[in-house]
Structure 1
Amino acid sequence: MVDVMKSLNLLETLKESVDTNKLSEVKDAVEDLLISRINVGVVGDRCPEKTTFLNSLRGLGVGDEGAAVYPTTAGSEEVVGYPDPKHADFRLWDLPPVSTASPFEPGSYMDKYKFMRYNAVFMTSTDIPQSNSVTIFLEARSLQNKTVYFVILVSDKNKTPEDERKASLEVLTSQGVAIPKVYIVNLSCLEKLDFPVLLEDMGQDLPEIRAHALLLALPILTPALVTQKKETFKALVWAAASLSGGISTFPVPFVASMVDSSIGVRILSKAQVSLCLDNKSLEGLAKLRGLDPGRLKVLRTCVLSVEVSKGEVKKRLAAAEMDLSTVSSRLVQMAMPRQARSASKSFAAMLQALNTAIDEMATDAEKIVQMVLAEGH
């Protein structure tokens, strides 16, 4: 699909597409967000730290199904793909380390491992970046690729991460990186140190739909991340309501006269997994943080946090459709594209019912994150 303009936030971008009658872009955006289509390359030595990083990005621990293992059985020049078990089209790619040989031709490495095909690349190390990795970074920048990041992997045992940052910045500066930046990432607790900053920067650098796809695929780490996921799902609800429920001024063939509960189930199922509310996610999170999974599960008060069923979605949609007085005129006005004169009943019902569900599920996720941050280790 054509990536949506980054200069607008997601909801406003989707409204703009409807305003200009580019509904195919809205439809593509809905599908992209529902399947989280994004590929991230991870360059660096194959070491325990890199293995842990590959797993942490997917919310996995040692021994979990699909987890990366160390030592790896992969060949020294082999690229290994790690799909996310919950988000089928979010893939991490373990790229071989960059050669330390001199002279070094960055284009050879980049061509061999199809460097430019990845939506983002992490240049990882447990120490300061090596010279040839910086050369690759500079080559990527010359090709207008801004989504390459230096990531220093540390554990709680590292007492002086700022010393590593200072030394790394000196290396980057000495090799001509104009505005050097490195991200110190705590492997056991991604919410600490620089990982939230890395996500923020990636959100600015990536095409908007890709940035949101990454956001939805990552495990919940902080209350702020839960809020970001919630807002993305609300934009997704608006887009789906526009396509399925319909904006009455647009006579397009796939606009239905009734609310399609199937798309509601897809969105809320995606939300349940993205917010780590399903049993498997909670059990994995509890294991990683040394908590009793039962203590996390009991925090789910919304029925959709526990199970997303078509019956429950239909019931909520029907209730909203019967009582559209709950949808304020201001809400409908804000939700409608500027050029639309009226919104269909099903559009308003879907918007109200699914937004309310997303709010309830996000509240459960916030409670879980707060307990994990307060008591986990």
Structure 2
Amino acid sequence: MAEVIKSLNLLESLKESIEKNNISDIKDAVEDMLISRINIALVGERGGEKAAFINSLRGLGVGNEGAALCPSSAAPDELAVFPNPKHPDFRLWDLPAIPSNTPFDPENYLERYKIIRYNSIIMTFTQNSSSNMVAVWREARSLQKDVYFALLASDKDTEKTLEAKKKASLEVLKAEGVSQPKVLLVCPTALEKLEFLMLLEVMLGDLPEIRAHALLLALPTFSSTLVAKKKEAFKALGWAAASLSAGVSAIPVPLVASMVDASIAVRILTKAQISLCLDDESVERLARQRGMDPTKLKGLRTCLLSVEISKSEVKRRLSVAEKDTSTATTKLVELAMPRHARSVSRSFTVMLQAINSAIDDMSADADKIIAVATGVSQ
């Protein structure tokens, strides 16, 4: 739980809002964590590797509706946008390759493709970085934009050829004046391989908290590491929801608190089911991508909420938490509640325990599915 507190910088503002009984601020905090738009630009040549990378970032494969195509359906000098089918507020923007000819005007490229509007920019290539790419990187950095270099592996690449390409790219970047350059290797069709998780770790650290939260929850769940990160993110969200529950409980209106608790818990756990890729559609898609029987993966879901988010099951869990709040969870109230507001602490504790318990169970199911799908033993 310490990690949850550390990850949620909103904690102090939530405590202050509870103290002032300012429910609207608490509600806004929860909404910001549930719905936050993020735009990622992918710059580079439009080949099969880039299309596969775009699809993998959205949990799609070749043949799925809305999948990026190769060759691209967009004109060579036009950008294309790919929304996430499960998370519409997460959009990937496919920007054309940076031309290799000289002279080249990087400012014109940034202006034409509206670099200013993207939260992060990933420069992709399959062979080598270029001097013009560095020029765009430099201009984007001057606009306070975070830019990353990703070397996309092809089916023909071996460990030896990838290392050679990475070394050559680093030499180009150094020669162009990039200090301590980083080029991360990405397997476009299997993000759990190579260095994509390292790239993601850096991106999450650079983004503002709410945007990092949005990116993390929108990505498909393809490794146990990602499951663990999402689990912590949802527990932070649960903390905010518990604060909202406590604030509403302070209002002397019959049934208001219980109605709000059930509704917000349903929203959080619905997002968790989709984010952890536990819904039927996501499990079936993963099974097809891995050449497995969907029934086998579906059978690994032992938590009812992994299969279906029902209001009756959410209410049942809230009722169980009401009857059996743990001493450890109760002690956490003192960290979140101002002293004179602890009369509503039970509502906070019940909500927090119910959501945490559900997230633990759902994450365990996600871990089992990923372990079987990727062939990684628990």
Relative to the length of structure 1, the TM-score reads 0.90
Match of 1:358 in 2: 359
Larger helix share, 1 or 2: 2
Q: How far off its partner does 1:345 sit?
A: 2.8
Aligned partner letter, 2:295: G
**Corresponding position: 1:69 with 2:69:** yes
Match of 2:325 in 1: 324
Tell me the alpha carbon deviations over residues 279-307 of structure 1, each in whole angstroms, 9 at most, x when there is no partner: 10011111111211111111000000000
Note if contact 2:249-2:347 (Cα within 8 Å) is conserved in structure 1. Answer: no
Cα distance in 2 between the residues matched to 1:140 and 1:325 = 50
Note if contact 1:247-1:344 (Cα within 8 Å) is conserved in structure 2. Answer: no
Note if contact 1:286-1:292 (Cα within 8 Å) is conserved in structure 2. Answer: yes
Cα distance in 2 between the residues matched to 1:165 and 1:27 = 47
Q: How far off its partner does 1:209 sit?
A: 1.2
Cα distance in 1 between the residues matched to 2:157 and 2:337 = 51
Q: What is the number of equivalent residue pairs in this alignment?
A: 364
Runs (4+) of structure 1 exceeding 6 A deviation are: none
Q: How far off its partner does 1:327 sit?
A: 6.3
Tell me the alpha carbon deviations over residues 201-229 of structure 1, each in whole angstroms, 9 at most, x when there is no partner: 01111111111110101111211110110
Structure 1 residues 216-295: aligned runs within 5 Å = 216-246=217-247, 257-258=257-258, 260=260, 261-295=262-296
Structure 1 residues 54-133: aligned runs within 5 Å = 54-133=54-133
Q: CA RMSD, aligned part only?
A: 2.4
Cα distance in 1 between the residues matched to 2:338 and 2:171 = 51
Aligned partner letter, 1:125: F
Note if contact 2:248-2:256 (Cα within 8 Å) is conserved in structure 1. Answer: no
Q: Tell me: CA distance 1:193–1:325, structure 2 relative to 1, closer, same or farther (3 Å).
A: closer
Note if contact 1:327-1:352 (Cα within 8 Å) is conserved in structure 2. Answer: no
Note if contact 2:246-2:348 (Cα within 8 Å) is conserved in structure 1. Answer: yes
Match of 2:12 in 1: 16
Note if contact 2:249-2:257 (Cα within 8 Å) is conserved in structure 1. Answer: no
Q: How far off its partner does 1:67 sit?
A: 0.8
Question: Where do 5+ consecutive residues of structure 1 fail to align?
Answer: 1-7
Relative to the length of structure 2, the TM-score reads 0.90
Note if contact 2:330-2:349 (Cα within 8 Å) is conserved in structure 1. Answer: no
Q: How far off its partner does 1:158 sit?
A: 0.7
Note if contact 1:248-1:340 (Cα within 8 Å) is conserved in structure 2. Answer: no
| SS at 2:258 equivalent | coil
Tell me the alpha carbon deviations over residues 107-154 of structure 1, each in whole angstroms, 9 at most, x when there is no partner: 111011110210111111111112211101011122222x21111110
Q: How far off its partner does 1:338 sit?
A: 5.7
Q: Tell me: CA distance 1:339–1:42, structure 2 relative to 1, closer, same or farther (3 Å).
A: farther
Note if contact 1:220-1:276 (Cα within 8 Å) is conserved in structure 2. Answer: yes
Tell me the alpha carbon deviations over residues 75-113 of structure 1, each in whole angstroms, 9 at most, x when there is no partner: 122221111110110110111111222111111110111
Match of 1:4 in 2: none
Cα distance in 2 between the residues matched to 1:103 and 1:183 = 28
Q: How far off its partner does 1:156 sit?
A: 4.4
Q: Tell me: CA distance 1:144–1:331, structure 2 relative to 1, closer, same or farther (3 Å).
A: same
Match of 1:38 in 2: 38
**Corresponding position: 1:179 with 2:175:** no
Question: Where do 5+ consecutive residues of structure 2 fail to align?
Answer: none
| SS at 2:289 equivalent | helix
Q: How far off its partner does 1:374 sit?
A: 1.1
| SS at 1:177 equivalent | coil
| SS at 1:324 equivalent | coil
Note if contact 2:128-2:165 (Cα within 8 Å) is conserved in structure 1. Answer: yes
Note if contact 2:337-2:345 (Cα within 8 Å) is conserved in structure 1. Answer: no
Note if contact 1:275-1:365 (Cα within 8 Å) is conserved in structure 2. Answer: yes
Note if contact 1:35-1:88 (Cα within 8 Å) is conserved in structure 2. Answer: no
* Larger mean Cα displacement after TM superposition, 68-77 or 265-274: 68-77
Q: How far off its partner does 1:314 sit?
A: 1.4
Cα distance in 1 between the residues matched to 2:195 and 2:173 = 18
Q: Tell me: CA distance 1:28–1:112, structure 2 relative to 1, closer, same or farther (3 Å).
A: farther
Q: Tell me: CA distance 1:326–1:272, structure 2 relative to 1, closer, same or farther (3 Å).
A: farther
